[in-house]
Amino acid sequence: MILARLTGDTLDGNGLVALLLAAIAVFFLMAGLRRKQRERARTVTPSGPRDPVPPPATLEQKERLRRDLEALIGELQDLSRKISAEIDTRFAKLESSIRDADRRIAVLNRLARELGERVPDAAADGDENDSRYGIVYELADAGFSCVEIAKDLGKTPGEIELILNLRRTARS
Q: Is 133 within 8 Å of 157 (Cβ atoms)?
A: no
Query: Which pLDDT value is given to residue 123?
Result: 44
Alpha-carbon distance of 97 to 89, in angstroms, equals 12
What is the average per-residue pLDDT within 15-30? 85
* Phi, psi (deg, nearest 5) at residue 93: -65, -40
- Cα distance from N-terminal residue to C-terminal residue, the chain: 60
What is the average per-residue pLDDT within 142-166? 87
CA distances from 94 to 7, 11, 88, 89, 126 (A): 26, 17, 10, 9, 41
Q: Is 118 within 8 Å of 131 (Cβ atoms)?
A: yes
Closest CA to 132 of 146, 153, 113, 116: 153
Q: Is 149 within 8 Å of 121 (Cβ atoms)?
A: no
Tell me the percentage of the chain whose pLDDT exceeds 70: 78
